[in-house]
């Protein structure tokens, strides 16, 4: 099964979970992305081997539930995800507090197998189920003055040990330029492997922007705001020198404290070679969004 990023996937193209798992077992230990030698771009997509659900849901960043990689898996059962509503405000025709089901009703859920590259230089491959953000934005009616989309994560202080400890300035906030938000690669994920998102993965709905470092993919979203100003973002607020607004995956621009040229594939085993990091994380189709920008300046 060659998974593609395109928005043309139909339900018939979807590999059932059992088939994923069988294939995973057959290939386990024999083929890794490094061995395949990813060249980047759509051609490489067919070779993507998904991480297991266990890997995807036990090695997480969700600072509201602690800073250790296993803390979210331990603590996120405390997140209350039902009922869930999302406030949509700012420069939209139809602002309001939407029950999640109402906001998504009738929109098509797609299967997207995406590389996921954390700014910390580890990576996974995740089979998401999600809805194109553009479909949601079309539903609420973006006004022509809007230039950016801002997102906000829920805060449940009594349930979130990381919020109690103030490890970041919460709520966690993120943002995209409107053209990035409308790009067909950008999804709001509601599931992984055809199961609803686990809490530690950002239940019930989180952003996924596969060509950007993972911290842009904000979890458990309760507010979407259309604005004409570049919105503040959590990691930029925490350390502006190290984390910019764009945060496109770029092997040529190192983090001030480590190289971004290579990455460690989670689940690859202790002795697996690091693999090369790809420009835009292997999604060169987004390059036109940044025509005329110097991506060593607009980090």
In the complex, minimum distance from the CB of residue 261 to ligand MTE, in angstroms, rounded to a whole number: 18
**Interaction of residue 62 with ligand MTE, rule CB under 6 A:** yes
- Helix-then-strand count for the chain, H and E: 10, 12
With contacts defined by CB under 6 A, name the span among 41-49, 61-69, 99-107, 288-296 that binds ligand MTE: 61-69
CA dist 268 → 81, 117, 224 (Å) = 32, 14, 36
According to the annotation, is 219 in a ligand binding site? yes
Q: Which is nearer to ligand MTE, 134 or 218 (CB)?
A: 218
**Interaction of residue 218 with ligand MTE, rule CB under 6 A:** yes
Q: Beta-carbon neighbour count of residue 75 at 10 Å? A: 20
Tell me if 213 sits within 8 A of 119, measured CB to CB: yes
According to the annotation, is 148 in a ligand binding site? no
According to the annotation, is 63 in a ligand binding site? yes
**Interaction of residue 193 with ligand MTE, rule CB under 6 A:** no
| 217: Cα separation from own chain's centroid | 4
In the complex, minimum distance from the CB of residue 93 to ligand MTE, in angstroms, rounded to a whole number: 28
Contact string (CB under 6 A) for ligand MTE, positions 153-172, x = contact: x------------------x
Q: Which is nearer to ligand MTE, 42 or 299 (CB)?
A: 299
**Interaction of residue 219 with ligand MTE, rule CB under 6 A:** yes
221: β partners: 153
In the complex, minimum distance from the CB of residue 152 to ligand MTE, in angstroms, rounded to a whole number: 9
Q: Is 243 helix (H, G, I), strand (E, B) or coil?
A: coil
According to the annotation, is 153 in a ligand binding site? yes
Contact string (CB under 6 A) for ligand MTE, positions 20-59, x = contact: ----------------------------------------
Q: Could you tell me which of 242, 244, 279 has the C-alpha nearest to residue 261?
A: 279
- What residue number has its CB nearest to ligand MTE? 214
**Interaction of residue 139 with ligand MTE, rule CB under 6 A:** no
10: left (phi over 0), alpha (psi -120 to 50) or beta: beta
CA dist 198 → 10, 29, 53, 69, 205 (Å) = 24, 26, 10, 15, 10
With contacts defined by CB under 6 A, name the span among 132-140, 216-224, 242-250, 283-291 that binds ligand MTE: 216-224
Using CB atoms within 10 A of its CB, is residue 253 exposed (0-12), middle (13-18) or buried (19+)? middle
User: Which DSSP string do the residues of 262-285 spell out, in sequence order?
Assistant: EEEETTS-TTPPPEEPPGGGG-GG
Contact string (CB under 6 A) for ligand MTE, positions 196-215, x = contact: -----x------------xx
User: Which one of 51, 61, 123, 260 is in contact with ligand MTE (CB under 6 A)?
Assistant: 61
Beta-strand runs (E) in the chain: 85-90, 96-99, 110-117, 122-132, 148-153, 173-177, 187-192, 195-196, 206-208, 221-227, 262-265, 275-276
According to the annotation, is 218 in a ligand binding site? yes
User: Which one of 217, 236, 247, 277 is in contact with ligand MTE (CB under 6 A)?
Assistant: 217
Query: Where along the sequence are the contacts to ligand MTE (CB under 6 A)?
Result: 60-64, 118, 153, 172, 201, 214-215, 217-220
Positions at the binding site for Mo-molybdopterin: 60, 63-64, 118, 153, 206, 217-219
């Amino acid at each position: 099964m060659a998974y593609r990023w395109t928005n043309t996937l139909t339900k018939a193209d979807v590999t059932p979970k059992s088939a994923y798992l069988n294939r995973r077992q057959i290939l386990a230990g024999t083929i890794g992305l490094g061995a395949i030698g990813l060249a980047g771009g759509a051609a490489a997509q067919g070779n993507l081997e998904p991480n297991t659900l266990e890997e995807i849901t036990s090695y997480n960043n969700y600072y509201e539930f602690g800073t250790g990689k296993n803390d979210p898996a331990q603590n996120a059962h405390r997140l209350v995800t039902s009922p869930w509503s999302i406030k949509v405000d700012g420069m939209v025709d139809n602002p309001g507090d939407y029950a999640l089901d109402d906001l998504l009703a009738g929109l098509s859920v797609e299967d997207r197998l995406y590389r996921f590259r954390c700014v910390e230089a580890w990576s996974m491959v995740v089979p998401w189920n999600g809805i194109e953000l553009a479909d949601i934005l079309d539903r609420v009616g973006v006004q022509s003055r809007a230039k950016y989309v801002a997102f906000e994560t829920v805060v449940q202080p009594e349930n979130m040990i990381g919020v109690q400890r103030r490890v970041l300035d919460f709520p966690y906030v993120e943002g995209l330029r409107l053209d990035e938000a409308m790009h067909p690669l950008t999804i709001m994920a509601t599931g992984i492997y055809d199961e609803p998102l686990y809490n530690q993965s950002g239940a019930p709905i989180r952003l996924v922007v596969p060509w950007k470092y993972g911290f842009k993919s904000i979890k458990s979203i309760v507010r979407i705001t259309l604005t004409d100003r570049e919105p503040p973002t959590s990691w930029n607020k925490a350390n502006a020198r190290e984390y910019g607004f764009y945060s496109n995956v770029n092997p040529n621009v190192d983090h001030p404290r480590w190289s971004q040229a290579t990455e460690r594939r989670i689940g690859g085993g202790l002795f697996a070679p690091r693999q090369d990091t790809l420009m835009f994380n292997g999604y060169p189709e987004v390059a036109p969004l940044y025509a005329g920008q110097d991506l060593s300046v607009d980090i």
